[in-house]
Structure 1
Amino acid sequence: MINTDALCHFFINNRKWVFWVLLAVVATAAIQFPKIQTDTDPENMLPTTDLDRQYHNQVKETFALHDSLVIGIVNPDSIYHPKTLAKLVKVTEFIDGLDSVVHQDILSLATVDNISQKEPGTIQFEWMMKTPPQSDERAQQIRSQVSRLPFLRNTIVSIDEKAATIYVPLIDKNTSFKTANEIRRYIDSIESDSLDNDQWHITGLPVAEDQFGHEMFVQMGISAPLAGLVIFILLWVFFRNIPFITAPMIIAMATVIITMGTLIAFGFTVHIMSSMIAIFLMPIAVVDSVHFLSEFSDNYKKDSDVKEVLSEVVGRLFQPMLFTSITSSIGFYSLLLTPIPPVQIFGAFVGTGILLAFALTIIFLPAYISQLNSKNLEKLIEINPDSEDSKIAGSVRRFGQIANSNTKIWYLVFIAISGISAYGISKIEINDNPVRWFKPDHQIRIADQVLNHHFAGTYDAYIVLEQPKNHTQALINITLDFESKYTLQSEFKNILDEFVNNLEKPDSNLTSTVDDTLFALEDFSFLDISEEQLKLSQDFALQLEEFLENTKPFLNPGNLSYIADLQEYLNTTGLVGKSNSLSDIVKTVNRELHSGSSEDFRLPNSNPAVAQTLLQYQSSHRPQDLWHFVTRDYSQSLVWLQLTSGDNKDMQQVINKVDEYIAANPLPAGMDYHWAGKAYLNLIWQEKMVAGMFDSLSGAFILVFLIMALLFRSFVFGAVAMLPLSLSIAFIYGIIGIIGKDYDMPIAVLSALTLGISVDFAIHFIERLRVNYRQLDNWNLAIKAMFEEPGRAITRNAIVIAIGFTPLLFAPLVPYITVGVLLASIMAISAVATLIMIPSVLKPFHKRVFN
């Protein structure tokens, strides 16, 4: 056992060293703050080794895709007004001048082609609107041209023709907030005519996520100091002695600074989760101090020996404070079980911060209080808020009377609450959407609602189809077989040997290797060679060309027809606003190559005919758009889905529908499919977070129970201590299910966090109750004593933690409001449940349990 008396006197007698060492540690941590690196990318919720994340980024690279802002202009009459279209051109030109965008991929009426028939068999590509229309007639001509191009309809011009968009691809998605603000400022500068009906909106997951990250850091910079102020005011209300309550504030600030400074010093970026460390630690760090100050103020009398009173307080509270600190930290350390790196870092550092706060309470508080002059200490006697006549004291005593009576009724109440909670939990739906992290009146939320009302959707998901085969080995076998059949001239044989060597290289590209060989064979044909060698080289070149043609599955009309049928099915589900694919491009070009009428809006019937349409398309002003939908070797093809909802449950339904369709209509032989896109990636990391939080909660629950059973040396007391927090958490989550609130990211995170914090009340209650019962040997007297100073201390702690999180209620971001409401509610309910439930449960069995 630790000799707390010697420990306390050591820190008191060496208080100057305590102060200087703490100052040095805090200063060392504080100088790390200028090195801070922030990270607002939710993609980093997944580890870099995650296969879904790796595949998503591979798809972006393969198809030259970029995260995009969606700029929308809405006119309630029609978008096809010369003035409105002129603004669209101006904004597009401004965006094209920004360094942060991928210029060639900007998608707007001002940057796309009108595809039309010049004459049968000849197609022409003209800029749709390179310059603004000068007349209504020209505006209507643009309207007519857009209506014939399926790729543009409902993507950059709405079906109701009241809105148009500009897709702004970003070189780096982390610049989305800055880029969006630059565009907003420019739009404000050209919107001078108050009579115009045009309204501008900016949305898209990249800007929503980046703006959330920016506002989150601002909010934390406001909420953490506000929490400190609120806690300081509460402590003043409790103790009315500023020198006395300065100590817990020093402990809280030191805990926050040391924890954050250490995180930065170790090179961790401050992510969305870790930015919340300060707001969590601020109220939690003063919990032990409140117990300490409450106990000291209750025991200190005039002419008391301060050192002896401090020693008694440390001796009495060391064990329960240690227990509560360990269990609280376990609640946060359990987050290490989640597969989400930022959540792991958050849990590790908050858990460590809680243990640091306990250590500082034991080390710093006795040293600090021992150096206060007698005048300050005597004020505790003159104005003792912990007196038996205080409002808190009266309320706590009434709780004691209620808890110690009508035990059977309380059992029925607990059973009823458990039943209601179980019903509510069964109704919970797991769902989230980063755009709904903003309040309904936020510009991002409004833009999302308006543009998704007019268009097919601003949320992107991709289905990637591929037909992988080992074509390389087959081609090597063909080449070796050819060499063995014929006698070849040395130059010819060297070409084939080099061809085989290049194919065998690990990083070889089949298409480019074949093309290089065809060029070499063409050069060979100009040498002084025999007719036989010329014919052999031409035969082999023909074999290569035919082989290469057959290795391009997405030049096959049958495969493109399958994609078109899948798109048609998805459009009937009500979940996908629109889909775009290679087959849409082929159909459009094929129409203009033939009659130009709707009956020729179809797929050609042969591979060469498909290849011809795509060759024609590459004569447009935007040939690179083709490679957004198919790889250059035509072995992979992408279907772009536009969704009007970013909700996880809607994305999951889309996945389910595709799975059902493919099960009923099998893919062409050898073909496979995978998912990518931000909407899909958000589903993945949030699913892993929810599953991880369940594992975390389960693991923490079992571990906390075992530790409490070990610390109390009793499985019974361990189980009893778990009851109030279990009922409280179940009740809160039951209410969430009953009112229809989605189980989203903040709620998932809180499930594990609240366990460690709310069990503190039960630990203090049971430990002090055991001491009282040993001393008094009478249940009623022991319970009555519990609802004096210990009950007041528990109540104060609940108030401090609950109110300490209230600054979050005024945040403009929904997750922080959720955190504030739920944490305050669970803390308050856990304290009430502890004060009522533990006496009610133990009363019928107290003799057996305590003996």
Structure 2
Amino acid sequence: MDYQDVIDRVDTLVVEQPKTVVVACLLLTAVFAVGLGNISTEAGTSQFTEGSPAMQAYEDVQREFSDPFAPDTGSTQLVQRNQNVLSKPSLLRMLTIQKRLAERPGLRVAGTSSVAESVALSLDPRADTMAEKIDAVESATPSQLDAAVREAARERGIARSLSEDFNRESATASATVGVVTHRLPGGLGSGIGASGTSPLTAIQQEAQHVVNSVTGDVVVFGSGMISAEFANVIVDSLIIVVPAAALLIFVFLVFSYRDPFDLFLGVVSLLMTVVWTFGFMGLLGIPFSQMLVAVPPLLLAVGIDFGIHAINRYREERTEGADLEDAMSTTTDQLLPAFFIVTGTTVLGFAANLTSSLGPIRSFGLVAAIGIAFTMVIFGVFLPSGKVLVDRWREHHDLPAFGRRPIGTEGSLLGRALRVGVFVGKRAPRLFLVVVLLSSAVVGAYGTGVDTSFEQDDFLPPADVPDYLENLPEPFKPSDYSSTAITNYLDEHFATTGGGQVVVYVQGQMTRDYALEQIQHANRDPPSTFVAANRSAQPSSIVDVIDAYAAANPEFAALVARNDVDADGVPDDNLKTIYDRLFASPYGERAENYLTPSYRSARVVYPVESGAAQDAVTADAQAIAADYRFDATATGQAVIFQQITDTILESALRSLAIALVATALFLLLVFRLFEGHATVGLVNLVPILLSLALIAGTMRFLGIPLNAMTATILSITIGMGVDYSSHFVHRFADEYGGDNLYEAMEATVTGTGGALTGSMLTTVSGIGVLAIAITPILGQFGVITALSIFYSYLTSIVVTPSAFVVWDDLVGAEAGTGE
């Protein structure tokens, strides 16, 4: 069947049976609306971690070193800040908080620890209860208290819980961090990354209420609080962005349509697009994530473009005297191929993200591609049918028509401005193309240096929410956010608390003579990102448990000494016997945290310096792991996040390459089918390539990295860029007859160019409003997507005419005459 037969059937359906089309589309909308109730949400960084090698190693560690029948644990940090957290009042407040938290059953407290508790035990080693520890601090003299602080600070772990301004002599520090451990149902313990849901959220929120009843200088912090902010920030961003985008879009739609009936049709069609897409998503069971916040603006961008083109083209025919049926038949006859080209290339651009190994990016590509396909159906069939019904009803009731003139008609100010590309194409097209292509090559080369990142802070609100957001009235005023500020504070004031840790997962027969020596060897001359003392890393491992039991049991100490051949404190021989004795002792439970009962796997936990760069930590962790004689894998949040960062770049480049190749082949095929000459598709690619180079250079210049969201911008630039260039090129091909090059260009820029301008203004403002979103990652995405659309529009209007002149010199005349 010839493609024109399909278009003719659609023309007939739209013009002769518009009521049937409208009713069918509305019924489908009702069906998809059911799926809206099935949509769940997924937020945070945990959704990106699945599948990475480091994450697999982390899960192996969790499985190997955790009792599957024992309850999981989660932790809460108590961040205390004041002039001196080691003063008696501050120590008493921290101890009181620990006591009240432990007494609250709903908090499921398994244990607490703090510098205040260590100081109390230094004062009275026999103090068992928290009340006795409070009494010990309360009854101490200032000199006794200072001495107890200095004694407690000799313990390595205690010193790490104090801010870097800790002065041992004066026993002062401006901040400290206490830890509360909670018992959680099995399988709900904290993992790598955070999500929008956490079993610790309610616990930590209740804990903050308890803390507030005691003092105002302690803040509760932990994964539960972060998870709550992940969930809240999506809602808050949507509450702020959606109304602002809707207002801007409405204003520009009024300008573009200039007719209340057409405006109503356009808005209804846009709403149907969103309902179909997200209803279908709900029926498929795809959760709504931060990545998918970008889908509605993208659908609106394409929908607005299609709507304005359809109405504008229809008005062109009407102003030339065509009746309603002929005008709409001509409109659909010309625009349906253009809509198909735009839809096909845009779907290919988004679908290229399905090759990503990151689930959220794949979901984004799938939902966006489905949404664009729905957009074509709604604006290619429903809107024209609705327009026919409305105009027939208006003619029947003799109602006036508004805004009959198309946007950008010749003689208007906009029409004159749009002709700049034609002017350049007439004067110096080759020189202009050479300059533009060379400049873009330079910009593109500069853009190859754009950074790539994946950090938890990308998904959280900034430490300081802008005043214009803070001053918004309810319900637009955002929630109170503190996670980023606390994280920054910990990074700035603590040597290791904010640095996290790296785990080396060791697999091998740990009874071999060199099994423990390899841990000792790997610790020597550690990299700069690892916490060190006396030129040695300070990990926690099975060696520490052996040392602890040896210090408590002389008989075991003698056994270790007899089997320490080189007298370096680490046993070399009879390791199985040593492990058997250790696991049978009271220290056996601690040993299982670092060595499996089969003695075939071990974990070594290295503390990392606060503020260390993620890529540097990962490189150092992998270097440490390489020093082990057994198979050893580095894991931990920094390593996993860095692997995701690398995957983001890999995914972006792969999807770019696939999208470019697929788009080029598609354009060559469809222009061969629709216009009889494939090379028109090459002209279509010129603005896209220019836009890609410009957006890459802009990202580097503005310091916007390729992250979880902006990684999709390259394929989006292709998808959205083709939207503008395809309309332009297809209209030119329709107008071009082989000997009317400049007349065809004039008709294209004043007709299609006007519709493109209305579409660009509407979508740039609608998507650009994401810049005011609370999370940095959404703001960056909004800015860069708006710029991408503007670049696509600009290159289509200004550069494409010159490309047509060159194309006409090479193959145009033959194409136009059909020779």
So what's the TM-score if we normalise by structure 1? Answer: 0.78
Match of 1:654 in 2: 617
Residues 97 and 211 of structure 2 are in contact (CA less than 8 Å); yes or no, is this contact kept in structure 1? yes
C-alpha spacing 1:631/1:143, structure 2 compared with 1 (3 Å): farther
Q: Counterparts of 1:138 and 1:47 in 2: how far apart (Å)?
A: 52
| Correspondence 1:641 to 2:582 | no
Q: Counterparts of 2:351 and 2:398 in 1: how far apart (Å)?
A: 39
Match of 2:462 in 1: 439
1:93-112 to 2 correspondence within 5 Å?
A: 93=99, 95-96=101-102, 103-104=109-110, 106-109=112-115
C-alpha spacing 1:330/1:253, structure 2 compared with 1 (3 Å): same
Q: Counterparts of 2:60 and 2:119 in 1: how far apart (Å)?
A: 29
Match of 1:837 in 2: 799
Match of 1:318 in 2: 336
| Structure 1 residue corresponding to 2:632, chosen from 673, 677, 698 | 673
C-alpha spacing 1:282/1:103, structure 2 compared with 1 (3 Å): same
| Correspondence 1:629 to 2:594 | yes
Match of 2:716 in 1: 753
* CA-CA distance at 1:271 after TM superposition: 3.0
Q: Counterparts of 2:132 and 2:699 in 1: how far apart (Å)?
A: 53
| Correspondence 1:42 to 2:26 | no
Superposed CA deviations along residues 525-559 of structure 1, whole A, max 9, x for unmatched, are: xxxxxxxxxxxxxxxxxxxxxxxxx83879x7634
Match of 2:470 in 1: none
Q: Counterparts of 1:106 and 1:68 in 2: how far apart (Å)?
A: 12
Match of 1:826 in 2: 788
Letter in 1 for 2:656: L
Superposed CA deviations along residues 113-157 of structure 1, whole A, max 9, x for unmatched, are: 999999xxxx99978997432144564354234312113321466
Match of 2:707 in 1: 744
2:158 is paired with a residue whose SS is coil
**Which runs of 5 or more structure 2 residues have no equivalent in the other structure?**
167-172, 191-196, 465-480, 555-560, 562-566, 815-819
* CA-CA distance at 1:659 after TM superposition: 4.2
Q: Counterparts of 2:96 and 2:421 in 1: how far apart (Å)?
A: 69
Match of 1:545 in 2: none
C-alpha spacing 1:568/1:293, structure 2 compared with 1 (3 Å): closer
1:796-807 to 2 correspondence within 5 Å?
A: 796-807=758-769
Letter in 1 for 2:628: L
| Correspondence 1:249 to 2:251 | no
Match of 2:654 in 1: 695
Letter in 2 for 1:819: F
| Correspondence 1:767 to 2:703 | no
Match of 1:60 in 2: 62
Residues 353 and 362 of structure 2 are in contact (CA less than 8 Å); yes or no, is this contact kept in structure 1? yes
| Structure 2 residue corresponding to 1:73, chosen from 72, 79, 86 | 79
Superposed CA deviations along residues 729-776 of structure 1, whole A, max 9, x for unmatched, are: 2122123234544332222122212211111111111111122221x7
* CA-CA distance at 1:328 after TM superposition: 0.7
| Correspondence 1:704 to 2:728 | no
| Structure 2 residue corresponding to 1:684, chosen from 638, 643, 651 | 643
Residues 256 and 308 of structure 2 are in contact (CA less than 8 Å); yes or no, is this contact kept in structure 1? no
Match of 1:191 in 2: 215
Superposed CA deviations along residues 254-295 of structure 1, whole A, max 9, x for unmatched, are: 111121112112222223323443333233222211110111
| Correspondence 1:405 to 2:427 | yes
| Correspondence 1:724 to 2:687 | yes
Superposed CA deviations along residues 18-45 of structure 1, whole A, max 9, x for unmatched, are: 3332222222222233332222253332
Residues 45 and 340 of structure 1 are in contact (CA less than 8 Å); yes or no, is this contact kept in structure 2? yes
C-alpha spacing 1:115/1:723, structure 2 compared with 1 (3 Å): farther
Match of 1:19 in 2: 22
Match of 2:436 in 1: 414
* CA-CA distance at 1:846 after TM superposition: 1.3
* CA-CA distance at 1:203 after TM superposition: 5.3
Quick check: 164-173 or 444-453, which moved more?
A: 164-173
* CA-CA distance at 1:697 after TM superposition: 1.2
Residues 258 and 403 of structure 2 are in contact (CA less than 8 Å); yes or no, is this contact kept in structure 1? no
1:292 is paired with a residue whose SS is helix
C-alpha spacing 1:157/1:583, structure 2 compared with 1 (3 Å): farther
1:190 is paired with a residue whose SS is coil
| Structure 2 residue corresponding to 1:379, chosen from 372, 378, 401 | 401
Q: Counterparts of 1:736 and 1:200 in 2: how far apart (Å)?
A: 37
Match of 2:238 in 1: 220
Q: Counterparts of 1:613 and 1:20 in 2: how far apart (Å)?
A: 77
**Which runs of 5 or more structure 1 residues have no equivalent in the other structure?**
193-197, 470-549, 595-599
| Correspondence 1:392 to 2:414 | yes
Match of 1:486 in 2: none
| Structure 2 residue corresponding to 1:200, chosen from 188, 212, 219 | 219
2:77 is paired with a residue whose SS is strand
Letter in 2 for 1:439: P
Residues 294 and 386 of structure 1 are in contact (CA less than 8 Å); yes or no, is this contact kept in structure 2? no
2:277 is paired with a residue whose SS is helix
* CA-CA distance at 1:112 after TM superposition: 7.1
Q: Counterparts of 2:383 and 2:432 in 1: how far apart (Å)?
A: 40
C-alpha spacing 1:425/1:568, structure 2 compared with 1 (3 Å): closer
Letter in 1 for 2:273: T
Match of 1:164 in 2: 176
Q: Counterparts of 2:74 and 2:586 in 1: how far apart (Å)?
A: 25
| Correspondence 1:153 to 2:133 | no
Letter in 2 for 1:730: A
Residues 41 and 287 of structure 2 are in contact (CA less than 8 Å); yes or no, is this contact kept in structure 1? yes
Q: Counterparts of 2:102 and 2:524 in 1: how far apart (Å)?
A: 36
C-alpha spacing 1:607/1:674, structure 2 compared with 1 (3 Å): same
* CA-CA distance at 1:461 after TM superposition: 3.8
2:176 is paired with a residue whose SS is strand
Q: Counterparts of 1:218 and 1:612 in 2: how far apart (Å)?
A: 54
* CA-CA distance at 1:644 after TM superposition: 5.2
Letter in 2 for 1:464: V
2:159 is paired with a residue whose SS is coil
* CA-CA distance at 1:101 after TM superposition: 6.6
* CA-CA distance at 1:789 after TM superposition: 1.0
Residues 76 and 180 of structure 2 are in contact (CA less than 8 Å); yes or no, is this contact kept in structure 1? yes
Match of 1:460 in 2: 500
Q: Counterparts of 1:243 and 1:156 in 2: how far apart (Å)?
A: 67
1:152 is paired with a residue whose SS is helix
Larger radius of gyration: 1
Match of 1:848 in 2: 810
* CA-CA distance at 1:399 after TM superposition: 4.2
Q: Counterparts of 2:103 and 2:536 in 1: how far apart (Å)?
A: 33
Superposed CA deviations along residues 378-405 of structure 1, whole A, max 9, x for unmatched, are: 4335676554454432321234324543
Residues 227 and 805 of structure 1 are in contact (CA less than 8 Å); yes or no, is this contact kept in structure 2? yes
The number of residues matched between the two structures is 745
Residues 220 and 279 of structure 1 are in contact (CA less than 8 Å); yes or no, is this contact kept in structure 2? no
Letter in 2 for 1:103: V
| Structure 1 residue corresponding to 2:450, chosen from 428, 434, 459 | 428
| Structure 1 residue corresponding to 2:362, chosen from 328, 344, 367 | 344
Residues 117 and 124 of structure 1 are in contact (CA less than 8 Å); yes or no, is this contact kept in structure 2? no
How big is the alpha-carbon RMSD for the aligned residues of Structure 1 and Structure 2?
3.9
Match of 1:522 in 2: none
Superposed CA deviations along residues 84-107 of structure 1, whole A, max 9, x for unmatched, are: 223323443455467787733655
Residues 464 and 673 of structure 1 are in contact (CA less than 8 Å); yes or no, is this contact kept in structure 2? yes
Quick check: 146-155 or 125-134, which moved more?
A: 125-134
C-alpha spacing 1:328/1:467, structure 2 compared with 1 (3 Å): closer
Match of 2:31 in 1: 28
Residues 581 and 639 of structure 1 are in contact (CA less than 8 Å); yes or no, is this contact kept in structure 2? yes
Letter in 2 for 1:182: E
Q: Counterparts of 1:7 and 1:603 in 2: how far apart (Å)?
A: 84
* CA-CA distance at 1:706 after TM superposition: 0.3
Residues 582 and 630 of structure 1 are in contact (CA less than 8 Å); yes or no, is this contact kept in structure 2? yes
1:469-548 to 2 correspondence within 5 Å?
A: 469=509
Q: Counterparts of 2:382 and 2:344 in 1: how far apart (Å)?
A: 19
